[in-house]
Amino acid sequence: MAGVRILWLITRRTVAERWPRLVGTIAAGALATGLLAGSLQFILQFAAATDDVGGSEYATVSLVARPGDAPVRGPESGSGARVSAATVEQVAALPGVVAAAGDAAVPAEIVGAEGRVVAPPVGGGSHLRPWIAAPQLSPYALVAGRAPEAADEVVIDRQTARGGDLRPGDVTVLLLPDEAIRVTVVGVVTVGGGDGSVSGLTVLTEPARVRRTAGLGDDWQALWVAAAPGIDRAALATRVRDVVAGANPDAQVWVGTGAEVQASQRRTLAELAAQITTNLGMLALVGAFVGVFVLAGTFGTLARQRSRELALLLTVGMTPRQVRLLLRAEAVVVGLAAGLLGLLLGLGVARLLAASLAGTGLDTGGVGPQLGLAYLLPPLAAGLLIAWSASARPAWRASLAPPVESLAASSADPSGRSRRRLVAALPVLALAGMFVALSFLARREDPTPQGVTSAGAAAILAGLLLLSALAVLGPYVVPPLGRLVGALAVTLRPDVGRMARAFIVRSPRRVAAAASLLMLTVALATVTWSLVTSITEGRADRGTVAVRADLVVSTDGGSGLPASVAADVAAVAGVRESADLVRARTTVTDPIPPPRVRGRPTVVPPLAVTGARGAAVATLVDLGAAGPPVSRLTDGQIAVAAELAEAYDWPVGTRLTVRDAAGVQSLEVVATYSPEAQVMLGDALVSPATIRAIDPVAFVSAVLIAGPGPVADGLREAVADVPTARIDPPRAYLTGPGGGLVFDPMLLYVFLGVAIVTALFGVATTLSLSVAERTREFGVLGAVGAAERQIQALVRWEAATVVVLGTGLGVTTALGVVRLAQVVTDSDLIAARLPGYALPVIVLGAVAVTLLASVLPGRRAARVPVLLAVHRE
């Protein structure tokens, strides 16, 4: 116990005396922990928003029946099904049935009081459904107002009322797939006991209005049944199935319980949460990687500064194990402080994430901070783990240093180029090479989009490992670079240049520590900027080449344009040609190509299919050789993007079996179109009738317009009822929110921005510590007559070496990683493409940060009294 007490007393004194030097280290650790905490906080808010919504349309439903496959997400996933009104009446008359009603769900968006569409929470949709009057069956409980009695009256759930600031008596606009109508809010309800449904926002209206909008005539999509208490549910389900099957003899019939549908809704949210967790976790690990990188460098510098102190402790009898425990205990204190600050920063990061993802259907509904143990404990543990991991190598090195060498305290630092350092870098380089090989293997074995993604991820991971190896090998590069910078210094400042060159060359590890952090910062900034620019601008370049339209009418988020509004757009005076693009997703069930990788089946993800008039598309989009067959495109035919046709072996003449709302249908591939046309048309193109068979209630995603510039005024008038509508030239559309980007650049900017700030804290801290490490040298220089400005110049020249080394290696490595990703993915959308001002901004930013970080240490170094310097050493 006495030994533990002594270690604690030393740790407490060290932290108390050196806390100014630890501030930057704690800040860097807090930023790294803050990324993890922010990701966790957003996920917890997502879960809380789900619980807050909480209800389900199926909460009071005993049985659900419909023709077709099982509705894994409710009847809205199978909107082509039919249950006749007569069937509903037959089921209602069965013994044991208390009430029966038809149900249908149509995508719909309601405009809030501020003129914006109310965003559905937590990844759900927004649906128009029929008001169900039977109290034994209805999951809707009025909390304000009354039930709807006319087609222009609606009742909304409390979640919608809160999000749109709507109340009974308000008049607003309801956007439906077929039209935009003015409606009056007459009531507010809870859904299954919750403020809203786990499936999203609910708008209720008169049943005939819903059936007309869904194109059902007198039919329904599904049948709801309320069973009498104590009735045998299995026997009742059989009787219901017999009735529905008798009315639909050629179709499968699915009958399940309301609880089963609720469970499937919950599973859908759980899958979405898992996807969010995975994506955010991968980005947060980048922050953790940067944090370990930064803290390892600063802990190493702190350990070198205390070499004499640690040597004295070893000399007086402390064991190497106790020295390691001492340094690790200090790391625990730093990690705990970083974890506590990271908890506060995490709340801010979560707000940034919520703001950047709200427009993508992941609005958390304004849920407040979640401060339970599930949030508090993991970031604290992460802060401790990062600090503990970062201190491992410095603590081990300090415990093994011979006391005599440490007491000598030579200003030279040859250990930076030891054989052990070279040996340590080789496995990291080998691992990076292994991931490069895996990226090529993944691309060769699986040319599908999944294989491309895997290859790109392996290339990026190889880049991170290469950065780690370069950081280890940095001291080997510093001496020749230091001589080069020193030669420039001698030319410009002979009085300082020789000393600067000696300082740099004799202590390569010190310079390399700061340069490696700057290298990481520059590399992250360059890779991120390059990837976002190349993908965004590359898609725009590719698509603009093929598009002949003058303008594109689309929406800024939301589902899209109602068909009536699209028709109004096409009728605007001056419009020569227009093409309504209706987008939906469908699954190909046959043919599925054989597995290219042994033991792993080929997965064909759902296709993004566009429905449009072939003649209009052939006029407004350059399809090349595919133009003539597309212009004659009819029902039962499909044109496929050439890249997908090649990847899945679907040549012209192949018959694809795809899933539609009512079951499946067979489509013949009649053409394959270029990647340039794919940017605008998606994975496949079908006729308007075929897209409506796939999804009868899809919105129009965009309208291509050919017409002179003045036509824009008429277009704006035509879309006046759609607050999210926008009118853009093709290039602006392709780079905007409606252009089909599969990622949100803001998410990358949030995470990597914090990671870069973390690394910059490390640069500033390392430079400051490196000056403190040479207190005696600066004091002696002052004693022999060196002026303050000369000592400050020494620090600045060392900072210049840091800039040259960090920026050069960072930019070179980043461009190499992007080039590798381009080669392995064989994608012209990934390229070392940066705006003309990007590299100057990155380089000047690195120079500015490094020089600013050296100002205060330089001034402090110039004012070190010689007696204090000798005393401290």
What average pLDDT does the segment 441-465 reach?
A: 74
Structure confidence at residue 3 (pLDDT)? 54
Q: How far apart are CA 475 and CA 716, in angstroms?
A: 62
Of the two residues 117 and 402, the one the predictor is more confident about is 117
First to last CA, the chain: 31
**Has residue 785 been placed in a domain?**
yes
Write out pLDDT tens, residues 295-342.
776 666 666 666 666 666 667 667 777 777 777 777 777 788 888 888
Q: How far is CA 120 from the centre of its chain?
A: 19
Structure confidence at residue 775 (pLDDT)? 62
Burial 558-583 (b: 16+ CB within 10 A, else e): bbbbbbbbbbbbbebeebebbbbbbb
Angle between helices 320-357 and 745-773 in degrees, nearest 10? 150
What average pLDDT does the segment 611-621 reach?
A: 94
- Out of 58-67, 183-192, 523-532, 608-617, which region has the weakest mean confidence (pLDDT)? 523-532
Does residue 683 share a domain with residue 789? Answer: no
**Has residue 736 been placed in a domain?**
no
Name the burial class of residue 185, with classes exposed (0-12), middle (13-18) and buried (19+) by CB atoms within 10 angstroms of its CB.
buried
- Out of 202-216, 768-782, 791-805, which region has the weakest mean confidence (pLDDT)? 768-782
- Most confident of the following: 466-475, 509-518, 621-630, 762-771: 621-630
Q: How far apart are CA 190 and CA 775, in angstroms?
A: 70
Number of domains in the chain: 3
Structure confidence at residue 654 (pLDDT)? 94
- Out of 15-29, 50-64, 252-266, which region has the weakest mean confidence (pLDDT)? 15-29
What average pLDDT does the segment 55-72 reach?
A: 79
Write out pLDDT tens, residues 718-773.
988 888 888 989 988 888 766 555 455 666 666 666 666 766 666 776 666 666 66
Does residue 714 share a domain with residue 754? Answer: no
Q: Tell me: pLDDT of 411 over 50.
A: no
Helices (H), 147-257: 158-164, 207-214, 233-247
Q: How far apart are CA 178 and CA 555, in angstroms?
A: 16
The values of phi and psi at residue 95, to 5°, are -60, 140
Question: Reading across the β-sheet that carries 63-67, which strands appear in turn?
Answer: 97-103, 222-227, 63-67, 253-257
Write out pLDDT tens, residues 519-561.
877 887 788 778 777 877 878 888 888 999 999 999 876 678 9
Does residue 199 share a domain with residue 73? Answer: yes
Q: How far is CA 413 from the centre of its chain?
A: 43
Angle between helices 838-862 and 788-825 in degrees, nearest 10? 150
Look at residues 466, 416, 504 and name the one whose alpha carbon lies nearest to residue 799: 504
Residue that terminates a domain, selected from 243, 267, 291: 267
Burial 745-759 (b: 16+ CB within 10 A, else e): ebbbbbbbbbbbbbb
Q: How far apart are CA 243 and CA 202, in angstroms?
A: 29
- Between strands 637-641 and 663-673, the pairing is parallel
Does residue 261 share a domain with residue 127? Answer: yes
The values of phi and psi at residue 551, to 5°, are -140, 160
Look at residues 480, 479, 483, 466 and name the one whose alpha carbon lies nearest to residue 519: 466
Residue that terminates a domain, selected from 267, 286, 313: 267
**Has residue 667 been placed in a domain?**
yes
Structure confidence at residue 853 (pLDDT)? 67
**Has residue 488 been placed in a domain?**
yes
Does residue 754 share a domain with residue 688? Answer: no
Structure confidence at residue 79 (pLDDT)? 45
Beta carbons of 611 and 582 less than 8 angstroms apart: yes
Structure confidence at residue 225 (pLDDT)? 94
Structure confidence at residue 480 (pLDDT)? 80
- Between strands 109-110 and 140-145, the pairing is unpaired
94's CB contacts (< 8 A; 6+ apart) are: 236, 239, 240, 243
Q: Which amino acid is at 711?
A: V
Residue that terminates a domain, selected from 668, 703, 728: 728
What average pLDDT does the segment 390-407 reach?
A: 65
Look at residues 516, 496, 510, 482 and name the one whose alpha carbon lies nearest to residue 801: 482
DSSP 765-807: HHHHHHHHHTHHHHHHHHHTT--HHHHHHHHHHHHHHHHHHHH
Q: Tell me: pLDDT of 43 over 90.
A: no
**Has residue 75 been placed in a domain?**
yes
Write out pLDDT tens, residues 348-384.
888 877 776 665 556 665 677 888 888 888 888 877 8
CA distances from 175 to 109, 192, 243, 660, 765 (A): 5, 25, 36, 24, 55
Does residue 118 share a domain with residue 249? Answer: yes
Of the two residues 687 and 757, the one the predictor is more confident about is 687
Does residue 250 share a domain with residue 183? Answer: yes
**Has residue 327 been placed in a domain?**
no
Does residue 191 share a domain with residue 107? Answer: yes
Show the domain range for 711.
Answer: 551-728
- Percent of residues, the chain, with pLDDT higher than 90: 23
Write out pLDDT tens, residues 487-510.
777 777 776 667 767 767 777 777
Structure confidence at residue 72 (pLDDT)? 43
**Has residue 574 been placed in a domain?**
yes
CA distances from 438 to 117, 178, 431, 827 (A): 46, 49, 10, 17
Does residue 695 share a domain with residue 679? Answer: yes
Q: Which amino acid is at 801?
A: T
Q: How far is CA 731 from the centre of its chain?
A: 24
**What pTM was computed for the model?**
0.75
Does residue 557 share a domain with residue 531? Answer: no
Q: Band the pLDDT of 711: cuts 50, 70, 90.
A: confident
Does residue 564 share a domain with residue 513? Answer: no
Q: Band the pLDDT of 17: cuts 50, 70, 90.
A: low
Average pLDDT along the chain: 79
Look at residues 866, 851, 868, 722 and name the one whose alpha carbon lies nearest to residue 793: 851
Q: Tell me: pLDDT of 842 over 90.
A: no
- Percent of residues, the chain, with pLDDT higher than 70: 75
427's CB contacts (< 8 A; 6+ apart) are: none
Query: Which strand (E) or helix (H) includes residue 471?
Result: helix 449-492
Does residue 258 share a domain with residue 109? Answer: yes
Structure confidence at residue 410 (pLDDT)? 45
Structure confidence at residue 412 (pLDDT)? 47
What average pLDDT does the segment 780-807 reach?
A: 72
The token duo for 819 is: 């080039």
**Has residue 626 been placed in a domain?**
yes
Beta carbons of 311 and 401 less than 8 angstroms apart: yes
